[in-house]
Amino acid sequence: MNRRNFLKNASLTGVALSPAANISTKAFNKFNSIQEIDNDLLTSTDLKEATINMLQDKMESGALTSVAITKWYLRRINEIDKSGPRLNSVIEINPDALHIAAKMDQERKGGKLRGRLHGIPILIKDNIDSADKMMTTAGSLALEGNRASEDAFIVKKLREAGAVLLGKTNLSEFANFRSTQSTSGWSSRGGQTKCPYVLHRNPSGSSAGSASAVAASLCTIAIGSETNGSIVSPSSVNGLVGIKPTVGLWSRTGIIPISATQDTAGPMARTVTDAAILLSALAGPDIADTVTANSQGHTQLEFTNLRSDFLQGKRLGIEQSFLKGDNKDVVALYQKAIELLKEKGAEIVEIELIKKTAPLGRAQYIVLQYEFKDGLNKYLSRANAKVKSLKEVIEFNEENADKAMPFFKQEILINCEAKGGLESAEYKEAVMKSTSARKIIDDMLQENKLDAICGVTNGPACCIDLVNGDYDTGFSFSSPSAMAGYPHITLPMGEVHHLPIGFSFIGAAYTEQKLINLAYAFEQASLKIKAPEYLNEIGS
């Protein structure tokens, strides 16, 4: 989750800071076949900023194969992620990636196509189970060695769709729910991930690796997960399109949890179309995740029927508090985005959503503490990790503090362990309060006859600071839809000093199709997506 935004809304700021320490990036286990790559082919091929449709066209024409595309991304990971700028976004490569790609090529040659993801390499966050040779650790040394016996439900659907599972991405350890003093994008197993736009800037949490990797063209698409801001915030600061779906649109089975009420995985991509393709492929009910039953009758399994004129005649609520923000450059971008919406035929209504949902932050934190303990204990009891409970995770970290906790500690884990069970009156009351965000959003949409509510996704990326941890740069819009479990899509609206700023559309449950079309129309009108420059400093 996006800790600095969450803490701001939960009124948990003002905590003490962790001591300074040094970290060296962990050695990368290079893919065994990297030396077998055809350098002539890769020298003549440039897949930077390639979309799913572009890659499909190349495979369909015979210009490239899935194997060749996979090799290109493997070399780029070696050159950009583990050398050069050293983004450190990929925590592990799938040793079976080329074998999967070869199988997809064979199927294509035989006339079998599984869909738009057939042969497309994808990276997934390291809290998502894959029943292969890769580990699933949530970035924690305590879970090192955990190899899942079964794919997460969404990974099964990825394989069914023909995607090539390229590897796993680094993240903020335990999805940024370990310490109130953490640095986003850092994990004890994976080290610190960087933002490819300005390398000393934080890529945001907790899906930091997925965001950095897509922005740097280490893959075409990736999967992140969110409890509160962990898809939309890193997407915003890394110049991406990110979709946090309605909780229940995608299954959570086989994903290391924080909150059964708020957790969901979701797509991260460079274009709205690519994000919509991935969202469509993995949506659907899972009998092991009962909340997905709510999606029956509400979802379309195809979100890619997109219209560039969709803003015409739409009525959009604009979060007015962001018009009064301290960062005038961000405010100016926001105002330009609003003017663009008007130019494209949208009617604008100023609203105050954050003012109504901010008081729910404390209740949200209580919910997350109880549900994290319950969910993690259940996950670990069935996992192949050496630790079998939250209590054992805490004990491992204490016993290995020099490696597991060189910077910040684990006070959130300790506080969660101190909580009781889900039958607690405190928990039940907190759930009722935090999820009242649903009624607040529903009422605001209905009373103002709105199609969606818009705002600034997040402020500019903060600096990586392992001494003091993350700090607030303003403009957080993740909490209302997170507490409600409602959909949220972000996409670029411009840059401030080379740092991308995202624009958000949020709506009622299962309104993904409408929000995606609104975002697509905005994207086509603004064309604000810009490749990273790998700057060492602002102005360099």
For the annotated catalytic residues, the residue numbers are 125, 206, 230
Q: How many CB atoms lie within 10 A of CB 314?
A: 19
DSSP 19: P
Are the CB atoms for 279 and 519 separated by under 8 Å? no
Are the CB atoms for 188 and 287 separated by under 8 Å? no
Task: Report the distance separating Cα 291 and Cα 275, nearest Å.
Answer: 22
Are the CB atoms for 470 and 3 separated by under 8 Å? yes
Both structure tokens of 464: 């990586």
Q: Containing H/E element for 14?
A: none
Task: Report the distance separating Cα 194 and Cα 82, nearest Å.
Answer: 12
Rg (alpha carbons) of the chain, rounded to whole number:
21
DSSP 461: P
In Å, what is the CA distance from 275 to each residue of 113, 116, 282, 341, 516?
A: 20, 12, 11, 21, 9
Q: Containing H/E element for 501?
A: strand 499-506
Which ranges in 64-152 belong to alpha helices (H)? 66-76, 97-109
Alpha carbon 224 to chain centroid, angstroms: 3
User: Pick from 3, 4, 8, 2: which is nearest to 361 by CA?
Assistant: 8
Both structure tokens of 244: 């946090």
Q: How many CB atoms lie within 10 A of CB 376?
A: 24
How many residues comprise the chain? Answer: 540
Task: Report the distance separating Cα 138 and Cα 178, nearest Å.
Answer: 11
User: Pick from 511, 65, 109: which is nearest to 295 by CA?
Assistant: 511
Task: Report the distance separating Cα 65 and Cα 507, nearest Å.
Answer: 39
Residue 206: asked if its preceding bond is cis (omega within 30°), the reply is yes
Q: Containing H/E element for 208?
A: helix 208-215
Angle at 259 between CA 256 and CA 260, to 5 degrees: 95
DSSP string, 110-149: TT---STTTT-EEEEETTB--SSSS---TT-GGGTT---S
Q: What are phi and psi of 357, to 5 degrees?
A: -95, -20
